[in-house]
Amino acid sequence: MKNALTIDVEDYFQVSAFAPYIPREDWDRLPCRVERNVDLILGLLDDAGTHATFFTLGWIAERHPQVVRRIVDNGHELASHGYGHQRASDLSPEAFRDDVVRAKRLLEDLGGVAVRGYRAPSFSINGSNAWAIDELGNAGYTYSSSIYPVRHDHYGMPDAPRFPYRPRGEGGILELPPTTVPMFGRNLPAAGGGWFRLLPYGVSRWMLRRVNIAEGAPCMFYFHPWEVDAGQPRPHGLSPKTRFRHYVNLQRMPGRLRQLLNDFSWDRVDRVFLPRT
């Protein structure tokens, strides 16, 4: 079974948890690592004969257009992570509209391909800002992967469906949730990110296989370019919780990704999920 492999293309200093420590106006003055890290990921995917979907920030694309072109030239799907990595839940409908329209136009101009997918920074679409789904449809997106059906201190909508659905009914935009496994009366995250780095690899493999085999469904997995970069700069003043979440097992991530690519079959989101709709 083909599963969807996705990469949220942002740099280390743009992580939402770093917002209290790194002012947005400092971004252009910080050393950027994203080009190096995306090239490493492209190499891993090429070695495995695998394609993926890259949810790319407009801010990154504007400053590193060669990253966008390499993603497209290597046969991967180019999708949108918005422009400025602001949580959808922190924006007004007007500001959100401007962000997602700007990002889509920029990515399409640079990549020369249609951009059909969107993922909100920090999975920040939930019941309190459901209007964002309508704005995405109006902006011309076909699908979103922005509602994570888990309980988390930074994001999540635990009562949302676990598998693809259309929040606005037939004909509306398709929502593709990151993969979860129901256990202990709640949905446990199985889609990647910090949990993939924290837990033993065998736990993640078991959870993904359970969804494939027991539920007969493809998985949606994600990670970030900064997660393959153990040598990234370390901002001062981070809280112990933020520091642990961000840096735990970064040095193990490339090896775990190689194992993940070998243990499962992966492809772009559009080829895994859109033919099913």
pLDDT in tens, 88-105: 999 999 999 999 999 999
Q: Give the residue extent of every domain in the chain.
A: 2-276
3-state secondary structure of 267: strand
Model pTM score: 0.96
Two structure tokens written together for 248: 């735990």
Residue 3, CB-side half-sphere exposure with 13 Å CA sphere: 28
Say whether pLDDT at 127 is over 90.
no
DSSP structure class, residue 2: E
- How much of the chain is in helix, strand and coil states, percent to nearest 5? 50, 15, 40
**2-276: what fold?**
TIM Barrel (3.20.20)
125 within 8 A of 88, measured Cβ to Cβ: yes
The per-residue pLDDT for range 138-185, each reduced to its tens digit, is: 999 999 999 999 876 667 688 999 999 999 888 899 999 999 999 988
Cα first-last separation, the chain: 17
Per the prediction, the chain carries an average pLDDT of 95
